[in-house]
Structure 1
Amino acid sequence: MRAHLARVDAVLVQAVIAAALSFAHIHDVALAAGQDGWKAWAYPISVDLLLVAAWRRLRTGPSEATGWCWFAIALTASLGANIATAGLLDLDDVPAWLRILVAGWPAVAFLGGTLLVHSAPQPDEEDSVALEERPETPAVPIPPGLIEHARKIAADHRTRTGRPIDTATLRARLGVPAPMAEAIATQL
């Protein structure tokens, strides 16, 4: 158990360092391109959130093309800023094309985020079966922590919608394969 925690801690430390460096590079490019104050700080958040949203779509959504498209766009923006700060770009004399790209990023990120959210699969209410009405499925071993997490998700769904969560939505929220979602659904 301790070896696993040490490995997780090392991964978390590395992730925090990488995120902080990338965040700073995107901020520096935005600042050099004329975006000052809070706007320069908003750029890295925008790039990273689009990257995370696209990655989540790749893991849980049916349309991989949409996820890959926006993941590639956000990754290009992040990598571009990181590489630009490596001395290849004079941050005191940013070219006009980069100023245009930075100024246009908010519209691109808004479009990408909107498409990722609004094209997300919504379970068809008439085709989905509520968990209370679910027939028995084969037993699949599920970690107790995952069951507890699923219960919280199901309770939140019922609070927000007034309906029990269906398996498709549970699967999407948990990011698990269909057989595991079925097994979890039977235990809720």
Structure 2
Amino acid sequence: MARPTVRVDAVLVQAVIAGALSFAHLHDLAAAAGQDGWKAWAYPVSVDLLLVAAWRRLRTDGPSRLAWCWFVTALVASLGANVATAGLLDLDDVPAWLRILVAAWPALAFMGGTLLAHSVGDRVPVPPAPAAPAPAPDIEPEPVPVAEPEQAPVAAAEEAAALPATPAPPVPAALVDHARKVAADHQARTGFPIDTDTLRTRLGVPPQLADAIAAQLA
């Protein structure tokens, strides 16, 4: 059975070293500012946790002013402790303003962690989807007026007049009743009586039959 090989991740080792050094610097600064005992060890934990919480909020919910504000705050606190303990600050005589900042950090970190955990990100709201348009009412379209045929030459008219008149075709009573309803509906909508061409278009009958129906409706 082959033994599992242990691979050392250089990035992880570097992160552990950097975290340990930053942890120690924060502890030394808190102890120099009068926070002795377990309190000095709690300060670096508080700073690092706030930094991680803000970064996680940025990764999960996207960029927001709240997450960036607390991420920069925790980063400044960590970097400030690293720089202050590099010999630029006399740890045996810490100034009063630094003691005030160190003493105020727990309340500040508590407020930041609470806001990161329980507030909604200020992302741009998604506009609501447009409502579906209401269906158009079922309105019967107006009949298209039939263009009047051009007048035939006089000779053709005289020839047609000389022909014997064709008798009107018989009209069923049911078709006459239906034509009366169509005519009444047309006059109710338009205010004018229906003409023969419109009646023929609405009924779909030949011209001669439409003339016979119109004669019975008159």
TM bracket, shorter-chain basis: 0.5 to 0.7
Q: Deviations over 1:129-170 (max 9, x none)?
A: xxxxxxxxxxxxxxxxxxxxxxxxxxxxxxxxxxxxxxxxxx
Shift of 1:64: 1.4
In structure 2, the residue corresponding to 1:35 is in which secondary structure?
Answer: coil
Deviation above 4 Å: which 4+ runs of structure 1? none
Aligned to 1:27: 27
**Identical aligned pairs, as a percentage?**
79
Shift of 1:85: 0.4
In structure 2, the residue corresponding to 1:107 is in which secondary structure?
Answer: helix
Contact 1:30–1:40 (CA under 8 A) maintained in structure 2: yes
In structure 2, the residue corresponding to 1:94 is in which secondary structure?
Answer: coil
Aligned to 1:109: 109
Distance 2:31 2:46 in 1: 14
For the pair 1:82 / 2:82, whether they are aligned, the reply is yes
Given the two structures, how large is their TM-score scaled by the length of structure 1? 0.59
Q: Deviations over 1:33-77 (max 9, x none)?
A: 000000000000000000000000111124511110000000000
Distance 1:10 1:97 in 2: 39
Distance 2:29 2:63 in 1: 32
Residue 105 of structure 2 aligns to which amino acid in structure 1?
A: W
Aligned to 1:99: 99
Q: Which has the higher contact order (CA 8 A, sep 6+)?
A: 1
Q: Which one has a larger percent helix, Structure 1 or Structure 2?
A: 1
Structure 2, unpaired ranges of 5+: 1-5, 122-218
TM alignment of 1:139-154, pairs within 5 A: none
Residue 93 of structure 1 aligns to which amino acid in structure 2?
A: D
In structure 2, the residue corresponding to 1:34 is in which secondary structure?
Answer: coil
Distance 1:89 1:70 in 2: 25
For the pair 1:36 / 2:51, whether they are aligned, the reply is no
Shift of 1:120: 4.7
- Say what the alpha-carbon RMSD is for the aligned residues: 1.4
